[in-house]
Amino acid sequence: MKLSIEKLDLGGRRVFLRADLNAPLEQGAISDDTRLRGVVPTIRYALEHGASVVLASHLGRPKGATEPKYSLKPVAERLSALLAMEVPLAPDCVGPETEALAHGLAVGQVLLLENLRFHPEEEANDDGFAQRLAALADVYVNDAFAAAHRAHASIAAITRYLKPAAAGLLMQRELSALTRILEAPERPLTAVLGGAKVSDKIALVEHLLSRVDALLIGGGMAFTFLRALGHGVGKSLVEPDRIDTARAALETARRRGVQVVLPVDAVVAAGLDSPSGRAVSIREIPANQMGLDLGPLSVDRFAATLKGAKTIVWNGPMGVFEKAPFAAGTVALARAVADASAFSVIGGGDTVAAVNQAGVAERIGYISTAGGAFLEFLEGRALPGVEALTEA
């Protein structure tokens, strides 16, 4: 168990709050403020308990140099509206001017630092840079689970100089939801994996096979598994160098008594830009067509398995979900997850988008804001941002 912000005495202290404010921008304005809203409860908690807040984040990939298009100015503006108070933006994340602004904060005030990644030392987890960040505050709180798989200066090295290092409210919720899946799930535990490539998920498949009761595989990655079983899959996405790995995973599942559910039909078309597709059996995919979505029989089969689950974890779409003709399978699966009488956890941008598109977000047990960190945690890997926190 990691130390939580709720266990800190915050009265009169400056909190260095590492958040994930890496929100999408369109024409210089925030187009989706989900990540900003996610950290608001932690900011409010700190302010209500007598602290001031030095807020830090990255935005985009500016490659260690100042790029105006990656400025956190739009984030400061949106946060000011969300918090109903002024959130000024510092000219930089380190340096004398920023230090003076941080040290001049009164109780109940917030200062947003400029993009951490304008300095190459951030991604290098540089010790000296971490010390300069630590000099801005009295106590460290990390609420950026989505960046916790990165060993960066504001996530890892800073905790050597700023103690205690506590989890924010969002980080805590993420950790307890994911720990519940891995350590004490109510059974049956069913995992649903989609997305394009087996290579992106094979470590996760192998780790989950020792923990789950059933594994549902859709998306492009399913065709490598179907090929491993000897099916012809037309022009569908297959990773030839992963066929043996997929076959070995299926054998492991059989040995362990884990039910693996693969598609029995698919929506096929000539290519990604086809205006429509048609459902065919997996055995009848034409040689010149590719599978781009789960077929209706597969949706029913997946939904029937989910009905019996008590815990569900889902990552990755079931087809080329961003193209309207091939979104139906993913949306139907989102509804099936919501309809199940299970504690459900979903993570990854496309999966969250699918749940929102299906209109069932409020019926999901926990929606993770993270992509890479979500997967690495489920793979059983140690996350630098979590490891760096003080034990409770």
Q: For residue 11, indicate whether it is catalytic.
A: no
Q: What percent of the chain has pLDDT over 70?
A: 100
Confidence of residue 371 (pLDDT cuts 50, 70, 90): confident
Is the pLDDT reported for residue 376 higher than 80? yes
CATH number of 255's domain: 3.40.50.1260
* pTM of the complete model: 0.90
Quick check: is 386 in a domain?
no
pLDDT, residue 269, reads 97
Per the prediction, the chain carries an average pLDDT of 96
pLDDT, residue 308, reads 94
Confidence of residue 370 (pLDDT cuts 50, 70, 90): confident
Confidence of residue 369 (pLDDT cuts 50, 70, 90): confident
Same-domain status, 79 and 218: no
Same-domain status, 236 and 195: yes
CA separation (Å) from 38 to 35, 50, 311? 5, 21, 24
Number of domains the chain contains: 2
Confidence of residue 209 (pLDDT cuts 50, 70, 90): very high
pLDDT, residue 350, reads 87
Is the pLDDT reported for residue 279 higher than 90? yes
pLDDT, residue 349, reads 83
pLDDT single digits (tens) 315-357: 999 999 999 999 999 999 999 999 999 999 999 888 998 999 9
Catalytic residue among 37, 197, 310, 323: 197
Catalytic residue among 64, 371, 372, 380: 372
pLDDT single digits (tens) 62-79: 999 999 999 999 999 999
Query: Can you give the chain as a three-state secondary structure string?
Result: CECEHHHCCCCCCEEEEECCCCCCEECCEECCCHHHHHHHHHHHHHHHCCCEEEEECCCCCCCCCCCHHHCCHHHHHHHHHHHCCCCCECCCCCCHHHHHHHHCCCCCCEEECCCHHHCHHHHCCCHHHHHHHHCCCCEEEECCHHHCCCCCCCCCHHHHCCCCEEECHHHHHHHHHHHHHHHCCCCCEEEEECCCCHHHHHHHHHHHCCCCCEEEECCCHHHHHHHHCCCCCCCCCCCHHHHHHHHHHHHHHHHHCCEEECCCEEEEECCCCCCCCEEEEHHHCCCCCEEEEECHHHHHHHHHHHHCCCEEEEECCCCCCCCHHHCHHHHHHHHHHHHCCCEEEEECHHHHHHHHHCCCHHHCCEEECCCHHHHHHHCCCCCHHHHCCCEC
Quick check: is 257 in a domain?
yes
Quick check: is 385 in a domain?
no
pLDDT, residue 147, reads 96
Quick check: is 60 in a domain?
yes
Quick check: is 383 in a domain?
no
Same-domain status, 190 and 158: no
Quick check: is 77 in a domain?
yes
Q: For residue 372, indicate whether it is catalytic.
A: yes
Quick check: is 179 in a domain?
no
pLDDT, residue 287, reads 96
Q: Which of 172, 194, 210 is the last residue of a domain?
A: 172
88 lies in which domain range? 5-172
Is the pLDDT reported for residue 124 higher than 90? yes
pLDDT, residue 290, reads 98
Catalytic residue among 60, 64, 349, 380: 349
Same-domain status, 81 and 40: yes
Same-domain status, 21 and 77: yes
Same-domain status, 311 and 340: yes
Q: For residue 349, indicate whether it is catalytic.
A: yes
17 strand-pairing partners: 55, 141
Q: For residue 256, indicate whether it is catalytic.
A: no
Same-domain status, 62 and 189: no
Catalytic residue among 18, 35, 78, 132: 35
Same-domain status, 154 and 209: no
Same-domain status, 120 and 256: no
pLDDT single digits (tens) 6-61: 999 999 999 999 999 999 999 989 998 989 999 999 999 999 999 999 999 999 99
Same-domain status, 123 and 222: no
Quick check: is 180 in a domain?
no
